[in-house]
Structure 1
Amino acid sequence: MYVTSPRLFAGRLFHGALRPGLLGLACMAALAACATSGGLEPRAKPLDGNALSAGKSLGNASLSAAQFPASDWWKGLGDAQLDALIAEALQGNPSLDAADARLRQARAQANLSDAARKPSLGASAQYSGVQLPETLAGPELGGSYLGSTVLMLDFSYKLDLWGGDKAKWLAAVGQAKAAEVDAQAARLTLSSGIARAYVGLAQAYAAREVAENEQKRSTHLFELSRQRVAAGLDNQLQQRQAESMVASANLQAEAAKQQIEAAGNALAALLGRGPDRALQIQRPAMLKAAAPAVPGVLPSELLGHRPDVVAARWRVEAAAHGIKAAKAAFKPSVNLTALVGLASSGLSDLFSSDALLGFGGPAISLPIFDGGRLRSQLDSRDAEYDLAVANYNQSLVGALRQVTDAVQGARSLDQQLAAANRARDAAQAALQLAQTRYKAGLGTQIDVLNAQRPLLQLEQQIAALQSQRLATAVDLDVALGGGLVLESPSSTLADTSVTP
């Protein structure tokens, strides 16, 4: 039983006589413990976002007073059906459920780390009995039943003298913050995936329309060629060429149909629905893309808007606090324990003053020799920090690259679309001229059909360019953070030192 524990008498003995010696030993051990972590430090350093220049690549005309994207950035494309699809997907989706589960898991881990820093108090009640035979214990103890009842309160508290427990908690908080940003990023990834698939669906419909017009044109041309061959005005060469055009147009129409089905299936999957959901999606309306413009505060302000960058910064913070916790493990720890209770052989005198049971006091522990475990643990935390910094630096460089790619791609596609539109206007004028000549008896229907072919080819090319331009608009909104409101760490590089 606790009342006869030798630790109780040892505590009384050392309380007065050896207290100064214990304090001196603790101080000496603390100095020795601190020395054992020497020579282990992280190597990586986070990049300064302002040191990554991008103004010339973006072009001065692109840098403006433009705002960062709104949280519903997809509405800028101007299609109500797209708005409804994204709203439906954000209501519930397996990918979002997984991200939310990871967030709850990280928050629970942070709460566990926080609970470990606080005092604990537990209560217990126990009854036990024993009867020894006289043949073993003799007539003095044997032959009778002995029972005992114990009521106990157990208190313990670890003093966080070096901030190690707080550092563990802050590291878990950093991981939870990163998981929170990841959960928001999952919604951005989902909405942008739907927008891109929707743009692909619009292009597929446009390609099918052009293919159907080409089918009509080539079929008409084939019929004319066959009539002319029958009349002896042409040979089989023209008829075979026309027949090849019909087959090519049929191929394009079938390919466009397959693209429509694939884009619809992709949208249904992103919505978390079955393929039949795609059958309810109508042809997209005329989508529009705004002129490319980025805020003039790049790249510094980009750090607080990109979810991947912000999450990487939180993981750097968490890794830095992990280093502090590992360093604190080299130092002595002090635990306060107290045990108070009542113990009696019978219930009648359990609550009497004679039944009081108590034990407690401080306990000091320090590492002396552990085979290099603590140094290896600190070295691992340093490596984790270096890895987190490397991921942060890579995400920052990649973020600026994505913004630049989107802006440059939009500018180039705008120029390509302008050139393609001029070419289409010229082809349209040529077709009108051929039609005028045919009506005046100066040309043939074949001339009209031949003049229509370049126009259809240009319309198909313009549809593809418009789709690419819309995709770059989506890419730019996503590259600028997608309108997410994110909480960033107070600093990029946390202090990894341990201060008493």
Structure 2
Amino acid sequence: MESSHLDCRAPSPALDSTKFIIEPGAHLVSEREGYTHHGIYVGNGQVIHYGGFHHSAKRHPVEYISLRGFAAGKEISVQSDPGAIYTGADAAKRARSRLGEDRYQLLTNNCEHFCSWCVLGVGHSEQVRRCLRNPWLGIRMLFALAREGYTISVAARNGLTGTSRFRLGRIAETASNVHRHVRQRIFLLHYLTGQRMSIQSNTRQRTSRVLQIGVPVMFVTALSACVNYAGIHSDAKPAEPQQYATHQSLPAEQGHWPAANWADQFGDAQLRILIDEALKRSPTLDQARARVAAAAAYSETAKAGTMPRVDASYSLTRQQFSNTTFVPPPFGGSWQTENRGLLSASYDLDLWGKNREAMKAAISQYQASQADEEVVKLTLTTAIARTYNQLARLYVLRDIAQEEITQREQIDRITAGRIATGLDTEVERKTAQANLAMSRAALKSLDGRILATRYQIAALLGAGPDRGLQITRPTLGSGDEVRLPDNLPADLLSRRPDIVAARWRVDAMTHDVKEAKAEFYPDINLSAAIGLDAFGFGHFLTAASRTASVGPAIHLPIFDAGELRAQLKGRYADFDYAVATYNQSLVTALNEVASQLADVRSTDAQIVDAQTAQGAARQADKLALAQYKAGLTNQLTVLNADVNALSADQAVADLRMNRRDQQIALASALGGGFVDTSNAASAPRADVSGPNTPVAAAR
């Protein structure tokens, strides 16, 4: 980012004229000791900034401030944001829209978050990111804020304003080291909790000095001990369809995407009935639905982890207490019955978003399982349609075989007549009978294949084999004209359920990575309990048996022999695998569409030539049979012509059925009417370096 500098350290009236130098909507930054303050210039010498604790011990909202007050005796820079979406009056308008907002948070909603939102449309803070990656830089910033806050608090106590505060700051720097560091840490504690620092009496300061010094030191130590995942990252990135060359293989033909009832184009009502029946009772689909239900339950469990928990318990214990421990007589050495009833509550503050990221990951996995269910539906309907088309193919081949039997029966009769006239011998008669028997065997084979295909369809329906016996002969038509829709590569992302599922898994792995990063930070759990605890039953329900507890529990990893780093590396490996799976799904989808389209075009051309060959072969067969009957040719010529005609008929039938099968496969490759409504294809892609940044790609 480029910056132009304005020296605003000198308290000069010329500062008021800067409205002619700085354009409204400019992103202003002012370097302070240890941190940088940000604001949006709105003209007339006024700046809108998130006040926070800017030169104040009290938190301030988004507010106006003069340019001189914003500078606070420091140098101002105009920061240039190359990726700015809002500039000039638009940026100033966005800044004004948040005037009065009072939700300042040092790590998640500070002045830099505010200004980046005004200019870039998304709030982020490079200062926070650097501090999280470099704990010592964060410590330096915290103590700089504490030093500035201490100066302001002392100035407020003594009624000092304006430049007197800066003089007081220079005087404070020369104070004794012990006094200065103690007071800095006192303010640091109040600053981090977002509360105003109160000036306590000398007596109270002496009694709580250990606590006031110890808590900030523990907090800083925790930060320095936990943030140690530097160097672990991933450069994997989901591919975009535009990066693949598809213009020649997948031309825009102004076609339409398949509808959900794409199978109706073939005009067979029985096919629609079979598909509907399969979608209702197929065990394969039931398995997919069970996986969706399990994922939904898991997401609900993860969501429960972000909410407070309240429990009740009761225990009755009969115990003999030792006479040599902390229990004094008369209880020591005696048997006692302890009654304990508690009502407890706990809440994980989740400061770093670990539980929230786990919930988001579970929700993404749930979305992926829903897309997987659509994959199963599409696979099932495609399998039924293609198997049904195979049944139609077998019926057509059976018709051809039946015609061949009729033809060879005629040849056998002609051969018998020729033997009676002495034109043929028993050799030709036996040859004709052998060919007739082979044709009848082929017919029986086709009948067996037809029955097996019916059973196969019944299995796809999730029904018994008898259901297959009820399937009648298919009456499939040729289907609609094949034309590809426009903008196919880009729109395919939301039309293929397998791509959508892969995309949601990338998103889930992204949140898993951020959850693993949050493990490096301290966990703070608040708990409280109230109840009754007494020996025996006589005093259990009395006021004297009341017991209560409340307090925080802090867990911070300091040394784990690299366990957390290894866990994060594993999450990144899972993320890389998910990205690779998504990219492969996209490549496979594009190539499936291109391959099926090429097969359809090739089959269309082959059918024309095959029909020409079929017509010629049939004419030759008729002529040979007529000549054989008239005694002008021999049986071998007739048999050759008959075999050629049979092969031509079978070739045309196979090509027509292949054409329909390829059309079914193309409809499936285009998603089979599926439309994604979960916005997975438009999920944002960003950096996963921060624990609170929503992303779908990692670095």
TM-score category (smaller protein): 0.7 to 0.9
Q: 1:155 to 1:442 in 2, by over 3 A?
A: same
Structure 2 residue aligned with 1:163: 353
Deviates more, 1:355-364 or 1:83-92: 355-364
Q: 1:387 to 1:141 in 2, by over 3 A?
A: closer
Check the 8 A contact 2:515/2:691 in 1, yes or no. no
Of 237, 241, 247, 1:45 maps to: 237
Of 336, 352, 357, 2:526 maps to: 336
Of 222, 231, 256, 1:29 maps to: 222
Check the 8 A contact 2:517/2:691 in 1, yes or no. no
Structure 2 residue aligned with 1:18: 211
1:176 paired to 2:356: no
1:458 paired to 2:458: no
Structure 2 residue aligned with 1:71: 260
1:85 paired to 2:278: no
1:207 CA drift (Å): 0.7
Give the aligned residue type for 2:248: K
Of 489, 495, 509, 1:319 maps to: 509
Q: Distance in 2 between matches of 1:449 and 1:291?
A: 39
Structure 1 residue aligned with 2:486: 296
Q: Distance in 2 between matches of 1:174 and 1:149?
A: 46
Structure 1 residue aligned with 2:456: 266
Deviates more, 1:477-486 or 1:14-23: 14-23
Query: Cα deviations across residues 107-163 of structure 1 (Å, max 9, x unaligned)?
Result: 1111111111111111223344557799x9998447987555433221111111111
Give the aligned residue type for 1:180: Q
Of 281, 284, 287, 2:477 maps to: 287
Q: 1:15 to 1:50 in 2, by over 3 A?
A: farther
Give the aligned residue type for 1:269: A
Of 187, 191, 194, 2:384 maps to: 194
Check the 8 A contact 1:26/1:332 in 2, yes or no. no
Check the 8 A contact 1:317/1:492 in 2, yes or no. no
1:364 CA drift (Å): 2.0
Of 452, 459, 470, 2:660 maps to: 470
1:407 CA drift (Å): 0.6
Structure 1 residue aligned with 2:581: 391
Q: Distance in 2 between matches of 1:29 and 1:133?
A: 40
Higher Cα Rg: structure 1 or 2?
Answer: 2
1:44 CA drift (Å): 2.4
Give the aligned residue type for 1:471: D
Q: 1:226 to 1:19 in 2, by over 3 A?
A: farther
Q: Which runs of 5+ in 1 are unaligned?
A: 1-13
Q: 1:416 to 1:86 in 2, by over 3 A?
A: same
Check the 8 A contact 2:459/2:465 in 1, yes or no. yes
Query: Cα deviations across residues 291-347 of structure 1 (Å, max 9, x unaligned)?
Result: 322111110110111011110001011111111011110111111111222334566
Structure 1 residue aligned with 2:154: none
Q: Distance in 2 between matches of 1:235 and 1:312?
A: 71
Q: 1:423 to 1:15 in 2, by over 3 A?
A: farther
Check the 8 A contact 1:317/1:494 in 2, yes or no. no
Of 126, 134, 137, 2:315 maps to: 126
1:276 CA drift (Å): 1.8
Query: Cα deviations across residues 191-248 of structure 1 (Å, max 9, x unaligned)?
Result: 1111011000000011111111111111221232233234321245543543443243
Structure 2 residue aligned with 1:212: 402
Q: Distance in 2 between matches of 1:229 and 1:273?
A: 56
SS of the residue corresponding to residue 64 of structure 1 reads coil
SS of the residue corresponding to residue 248 of structure 2 reads helix
Give the aligned residue type for 2:300: N
Of 544, 551, 571, 1:361 maps to: 551
Q: Distance in 2 between matches of 1:158 and 1:481?
A: 43
1:114 paired to 2:306: no
1:165 CA drift (Å): 1.3
Structure 2 residue aligned with 1:413: 603
Structure 2 residue aligned with 1:400: 590
Check the 8 A contact 1:313/1:488 in 2, yes or no. no
Check the 8 A contact 1:79/1:285 in 2, yes or no. yes
Structure 2 residue aligned with 1:491: 683
Q: 1:339 to 1:243 in 2, by over 3 A?
A: same
SS of the residue corresponding to residue 249 of structure 2 reads helix
Q: Tell which has more relative contact order, 1 or 2 (C-alpha 8 A, sep 6+).
A: 1
1:32 CA drift (Å): 3.3
1:434 CA drift (Å): 7.1
Q: 1:143 to 1:196 in 2, by over 3 A?
A: closer
Give the aligned residue type for 1:124: S
Q: 1:33 to 1:115 in 2, by over 3 A?
A: same
Structure 2 residue aligned with 1:7: none
Give the aligned residue type for 2:468: A
SS of the residue corresponding to residue 359 of structure 1 reads strand
Q: TM-score by structure 1 length?
A: 0.88
SS of the residue corresponding to residue 364 of structure 1 reads strand
**Aligned pairs, number:** 483
1:437 CA drift (Å): 8.4
Deviates more, 1:444-453 or 1:268-277: 444-453
Query: Cα deviations across residues 259-316 of structure 1 (Å, max 9, x unaligned)?
Result: 2122111101101112222111111114323332211111011011101111000101
Q: TM-score by structure 2 length?
A: 0.64
Structure with the largest fraction of helix = 1
Give the aligned residue type for 2:467: R
Query: Cα deviations across residues 58-91 of structure 1 (Å, max 9, x unaligned)?
Result: 3x4xx22222111111111211111111111111
1:98 paired to 2:287: yes
Q: Distance in 1 between matches of 2:563 and 2:278?
A: 49
SS of the residue corresponding to residue 600 of structure 2 reads helix
Query: Cα deviations across residues 359-414 of structure 1 (Å, max 9, x unaligned)?
Result: 12122221111111101100110110111111111111100111111111111111
Of 196, 203, 222, 2:412 maps to: 222
Q: Distance in 2 between matches of 1:239 and 1:212?
A: 21
Give the aligned residue type for 2:401: A
Q: Distance in 1 between matches of 2:291 and 2:537?
A: 51
Of 373, 376, 394, 2:563 maps to: 373
Q: Which runs of 5+ in 2 are unaligned?
A: 1-206, 693-699
1:106 CA drift (Å): 1.1
1:472 CA drift (Å): 0.5
Q: Distance in 1 between matches of 2:322 and 2:628?
A: 127
Check the 8 A contact 1:162/1:498 in 2, yes or no. no
Task: Tell me how large the CA RMSD over aligned residues is.
Answer: 3.1
Q: 1:314 to 1:286 in 2, by over 3 A?
A: closer
1:453 CA drift (Å): 5.2
SS of the residue corresponding to residue 118 of structure 1 reads coil
Q: 1:237 to 1:123 in 2, by over 3 A?
A: same
Check the 8 A contact 2:423/2:631 in 1, yes or no. no
Of 36, 44, 56, 2:248 maps to: 56
1:30 CA drift (Å): 1.5
Q: Distance in 2 between matches of 1:152 and 1:139?
A: 26
Query: Cα deviations across residues 399-450 of structure 1 (Å, max 9, x unaligned)?
Result: 01111111111111111112112223334555676799899x8978978887
Deviates more, 1:19-28 or 1:123-132: 123-132
Q: Distance in 1 between matches of 2:378 and 2:462?
A: 16
Q: 1:139 to 1:460 in 2, by over 3 A?
A: closer
Structure 2 residue aligned with 1:309: 499
1:498 CA drift (Å): 2.1
